[in-house]
Structure 1
Amino acid sequence: MILERFFNTAGPTIPADHYHIDLLHRLDWEEIQHLVASKRYFVLHAPRQTGKTSTLLAMMKAFNAAGHYACAYANIEGAQAARGDETQGIPAACDALVNAIDLYLDQPQLLNWYEEKKSSLAPQHLLTQVLQQWAKLSEKPTILLLDEVDALVGDTLISLLRQIRAGYGQRPDFFPQSIILCGVRDVRDYRMHQEGTEVITGGSAFNIKAESLRMGNFTEQETHALWQQHSQETGQEFDPAIFPELWEDTRGQPWLVNALGYEVTWKNRKARDRSHKISLTDYQEARERLIYSRATHLDQLSDKLKEPRVHSVISRILSTDDEETSDLKFDDLQYVEDLGLINLWPSVKISNRIYQEVLPRELTWPTQVMIANQEQAWYINDDHSLNMEKLLKAFQQFFREHSDSWSEGFDYKEAAPQLLMQAFLQRIINGGGRISREYGLGRKRTDLFIEWPLNPEEAMYGPLQRVVIELKILRGSLETAIEKGLEQATDYTQRVGAEETHLVVFNRDPATPWDQKIWQREETYQDRNLKVWGA
């Protein structure tokens, strides 16, 4: 069997094995060369699984091939196990550094020196001494690419940054000409606790930073070009209708782009026959499989959602409540953007359509599996359509009985009504139809778009029932909220081409009796009939 190149979803990119975009093309290579020539120390950061390590390795190869510098790449993530114990963490980082220099530059003199001296050097000076010795032994100015720096914590991280700063003035003869720190976060977001002090930010421990460069996602053209490499090498065609969907689903997030490519060209067994043209249906099936798989990349999102700084931002976006945004910090918004979870411009929103789908699912997964006595068959009409009136009445009763106790179980209490609704619907619709979500900071509502197959044999690829449910939190007058909600729901209904529209208004005032919160009525807006529900 001849192994073709394939879409890479794990580890550094190997150009001979993987479809890829020119690694140095993804950043301003000219600017990096200028910073190195100017003897600058700087930061390169990007979200996880966007190609940082692959790019750093390509940079090292390019610098060494040019012949002007001796460049080494070192991953010091292993020192994370020492936590804040610098007596363990710094030696672990130096072990990784010296081994990397020996591996990539074949400098046994440094390795021999290190093995002889390391036990006699204090951790507070060990890194400085190693870098000084490397620069002295090297015939060329040295460049250090230090990866996973932000994996370190506490005194280990403080000591590492300060030891680099201590040798800065000795460059390039007795210290690296240039050092590039790489990680998920910018150095300003390295937050380190030191005994007897408040939080120390990375910027104060590393104030020699000249620049902070962020490596972004693929562009739309790069996303298309990456997938076309598969067609060029195998002859297998993609339906052109796939590419607008691929872009909206991923917005160029490299892992998502590659993971969808791998799903649709390999995990889909019929596509292993390269004469099979990959259709939009094949793509949509691959997308659903990827989301349901809770792959490592997607599963890591749930851990990020637990971080207080992430919570403060994502909870506001999910709750779509303007009155809860006044205390948002711009540093937190930048941090969550650096993690790749949101875009700040032109408005604050979840960064791509797959994340928009995955984040609420991750937050409501325990709730979905715990919802009892709700079966899909109860809500199916004789013509196989969803009985939305019966479904929403059941939700009203469910919400009345469980909202107080179940909301307490949510980390994201600000968005509890919207999340409970989505958990309830997902429980019923999973395995049959599809729910798309649209929400964002300042929108003042959450739009849900349900697509339900009317022909079970053709599933999602036959005729569909299309339903919009708009969710709003009651603020002020009920009639004003309904009037605005009808306008917004109608606009969204027209955009997605739905035939049925519902507006759900949540009253979160604990003083209001449930008999006044639960109601239903019909409204007409722009010659369209809509149903309005209270909860």
Structure 2
Amino acid sequence: MKSSYIRRFFYIFSEIGFFIIVCSFHGEGFSIIRINRDTMRFFNTAGPVNCQDHYCLPPLTRFDLPEILTLLSQKKYFVLHAPRQSGKTSCLLALREYLNNSGEYRSLYINVETAQAARDDVENGVRSIIVEINKRMDQSPVFTGLGVVTADLWDNTNAYSVLNIVLSRLASIDNKPLVLLIDEIDALVGDTLISVLRQIRSGYDSRPVHFPSSIILCGVRDVRDYRIHSDKDKAIITGGSAFNIKAESLRLGNFTEEETGILLLEHTKETGQVFEEGALAAVWNLTRGQPWLVNALAYEVCFKIEEGRNRSNPISESLVIKAKERLIQRRETHLDQLVDKLQEERVRRVIEPILTGEMFEKNFRPDDISYLVDLGLIIQEQGGALAIANPIYQEIIPRELSYTAQSGMALKSVWYIGEDGRIRVNDLLLSFQQFFREHSESWTDIAQYKEAAPQLLLQAFLQRIINGGGQIIREYGLGRGRTDLFILWHLPDGTYQRFVIECKMVHGSREVTISKGLVQVTKYADRCGAEEVYLLIFDRDKNKSWDEKIFTETIEHQGRMVAVFGM
């Protein structure tokens, strides 16, 4: 019990990074031998980065600063956008400080997210933004003593012009060009957003003496992708028409592999705790440099997992994998927001064919693809191919979409495990075959992603078995024509049972589908080093009976025995 208390006590203080505590036990208690002030930093997972408190990459290195300075010197209005929790606010705040310290500009940062609740109530939305302007001026020494720019405006000014007047006053009170940084612009809704964009546009010709010399709009999406419903105009207004003065659209990218390594090694420099090469590679491979994922994974492994909190232990690849699993199971806010987006129809139209590997939508809508890229859900590879942005998203998406089915499955993994600790995969898939026959139609009826229902139901079935004893590595993508699953099952002797399962939909004849599947799954098994190979064939033809669809056979292909299950 004593050690439990001291571990808990130490953890509370190590979490906030204030103290190092060295304790000595005596009798029924303990005494504190030494308490030292400690400035140890940590990986940031919430809010803007502060390089005094957090391991960080200098924010101004995250984008092309010379390009931005050129745009500012040309008095341009432009957009900076990136997925949520990518470091946008940190970069804007750093840019504000850089500009104010340069002595050439006055720069004001505002966050307009509070106006989101106003929705189409333009008066209250704009009022909220002006309150934010005054608050930020009060907090900035650059604007000290410049007075309240909104005095007496609400009595005699219409909400559709008052922001323009405020910005005009703000620009006119000093001879230095004003650079206004507007964060979370796409949090605004409906007529409030339209009014803000139009009031900024209407003052554009008065810059730089009587209106901000430059304005940077920052949000998740590019302004051109806004499709805003206006109650006032009874129409859909596009961002491009409401804000046609945009000169550029800059996107804040993910960390590169080199930058990911640099950030992780900041922890090593400060604590002496080493990241093994496999761990560094695992963080990069799992996150592909998504800033929040990199920081969350590193924080979990270095500050939450008990073995990782011991600074004498190196950070291993297995610890990183454990941290990844904990993040997914805990459904952190970032991941929860991502999952929530899956319910949107425009997201389904793109994600579902990626999950199945099949092109079953007649046409992709370009604005849907742009929307998902801006959200950070997908990437568009060279040649235009679409893929899920990183392996963590690639794992969590089918897990969450199959969660309802998973929750309804009363499965016990013990039944499928032999005396040697290995999963009896053939028996497991025979059981799934019967389960699919009995439940697939009813589950498909309630599933939002109906075309991907067979693959998702299989993954739900496997996840219930694998949880706690292994991991499923999923590979899928648009145009692949299949979904590949690589399962690693932990054995009692410390080794792994490795097997692959490929899912294919029947197109044309069953024989041709199986022939193509054999080539694909054996190639995949060779790449993964799997000992067992399984091919599942799903036939969606409603005119066929289940007796016609259900079959099992074993086929030799290129020296491998492949068990084929039809359903």
TM-score class, shorter: over 0.9
Specify the alignment match of 2:325 in structure 1: 288
Which amino acid counterpart does residue 356 of structure 1 have in structure 2? Q
1:354 pairs with 2:392: yes
Specify the alignment match of 1:498 in structure 2: 530
Out of 409, 434, 437, the position equivalent to 2:446 is 409
SS of match in other structure, 1:229: helix
Deviation per residue, 1:122-150 (Å, 9 max, x gap): 11001100000001112311000000000
Which amino acid counterpart does residue 418 of structure 1 have in structure 2? Q
Which amino acid counterpart does residue 56 of structure 2 have in structure 1? H
SS of match in other structure, 1:211: strand
Specify the alignment match of 2:480 in structure 1: 443
- In 1, are the aligned partners of 2:225 and 2:370 still within 8 Å (CA)? no
- In 2, are the aligned partners of 1:98 and 1:111 still within 8 Å (CA)? no
Specify the alignment match of 2:342 in structure 1: 305
SS of match in other structure, 1:124: coil
Find the aligned partners of 2:422 and 2:146 in 1 and give their Cα distance: 73
Q: Aligned pair in 2 of structure 1 residues 241, 108: CA closer, same or farther (>3 Å)?
A: closer
Specify the alignment match of 1:134 in structure 2: 170
Deviation per residue, 1:461-519 (Å, 9 max, x gap): x1110010000011111111000000000010000000001000100111110111111
Specify the alignment match of 2:14 in structure 1: none
- Give runs of aligned pairs for residues 321-400 of structure 1, distance below 5 A: 321-322=358-359, 324-346=360-382, 347-372=385-410, 374-400=411-437
Find the aligned partners of 1:98 and 1:166 in 2 and give their Cα distance: 21
Out of 122, 132, 135, the position equivalent to 1:86 is 122
- Give runs of aligned pairs for residues 179-218 of structure 1, distance below 5 A: 179-195=215-231, 196-218=233-255
Which amino acid counterpart does residue 334 of structure 2 have in structure 1? H
Q: Aligned pair in 2 of structure 1 residues 519, 275: CA closer, same or farther (>3 Å)?
A: same
- In 2, are the aligned partners of 1:302 and 1:362 still within 8 Å (CA)? yes
Find the aligned partners of 1:451 and 1:270 in 2 and give their Cα distance: 22
Which amino acid counterpart does residue 298 of structure 2 have in structure 1? G
Which amino acid counterpart does residue 472 of structure 1 have in structure 2? K
Q: Greater helix percent: which structure?
A: 1
- In 1, are the aligned partners of 2:503 and 2:535 still within 8 Å (CA)? yes
Find the aligned partners of 1:44 and 1:514 in 2 and give their Cα distance: 54
Specify the alignment match of 2:501 in structure 1: 469
- In 1, are the aligned partners of 2:106 and 2:177 still within 8 Å (CA)? yes
SS of match in other structure, 1:143: strand
SS of match in other structure, 2:160: helix
Specify the alignment match of 1:429 in structure 2: 466
- In 1, are the aligned partners of 2:388 and 2:394 still within 8 Å (CA)? yes
Deviation at 1:271, TM superposition (A): 2.6
Deviation at 1:110, TM superposition (A): 5.6
Query: Percent same amino acid among aligned pairs?
Result: 52
Which amino acid counterpart does residue 417 of structure 2 have in structure 1? I
Which amino acid counterpart does residue 67 of structure 2 have in structure 1? E
Which amino acid counterpart does residue 342 of structure 2 have in structure 1? L
1:247 pairs with 2:279: no
Which amino acid counterpart does residue 399 of structure 2 have in structure 1? R
Which amino acid counterpart does residue 258 of structure 1 have in structure 2? N
Out of 43, 56, 65, the position equivalent to 1:7 is 43
- In 1, are the aligned partners of 2:552 and 2:563 still within 8 Å (CA)? yes
Find the aligned partners of 2:309 and 2:515 in 1 and give their Cα distance: 53
- In 2, are the aligned partners of 1:70 and 1:105 still within 8 Å (CA)? no
Specify the alignment match of 1:65 in structure 2: 101
Structure 1, unaligned runs of 5 or more? none
- In 2, are the aligned partners of 1:45 and 1:212 still within 8 Å (CA)? yes
SS of match in other structure, 1:210: strand
SS of match in other structure, 2:161: helix
Deviation at 1:98, TM superposition (A): 2.5
1:515 pairs with 2:547: yes
Deviation per residue, 1:417-457 (Å, 9 max, x gap): 111110111111111111110000010000001111121xx
Find the aligned partners of 1:111 and 1:76 in 2 and give their Cα distance: 21
1:278 pairs with 2:278: no
Deviation at 1:308, TM superposition (A): 2.0
Deviation per residue, 1:23-53 (Å, 9 max, x gap): 1111011000000110000000000000000
Normalising by structure 1, what TM-score? 0.97
Number of matched pairs: 528
Find the aligned partners of 1:128 and 1:446 in 2 and give their Cα distance: 54
Find the aligned partners of 2:157 and 2:344 in 1 and give their Cα distance: 37
Find the aligned partners of 1:120 and 1:42 in 2 and give their Cα distance: 31
Find the aligned partners of 2:366 and 2:479 in 1 and give their Cα distance: 15
Which amino acid counterpart does residue 336 of structure 2 have in structure 1? D
Find the aligned partners of 1:526 and 1:113 in 2 and give their Cα distance: 78
- Give runs of aligned pairs for residues 140-179 of structure 1, distance below 5 A: 140-179=176-215
Deviation at 1:270, TM superposition (A): 2.9
Find the aligned partners of 2:308 and 2:535 in 1 and give their Cα distance: 42
Compute the RMSD of aligned alpha carbons: 1.3
Q: Aligned pair in 2 of structure 1 residues 41, 463: CA closer, same or farther (>3 Å)?
A: same
Find the aligned partners of 1:505 and 1:437 in 2 and give their Cα distance: 17
Q: Aligned pair in 2 of structure 1 residues 15, 8: CA closer, same or farther (>3 Å)?
A: same
- In 2, are the aligned partners of 1:109 and 1:137 still within 8 Å (CA)? no
Deviation at 1:109, TM superposition (A): 5.9
Normalising by structure 2, what TM-score? 0.91
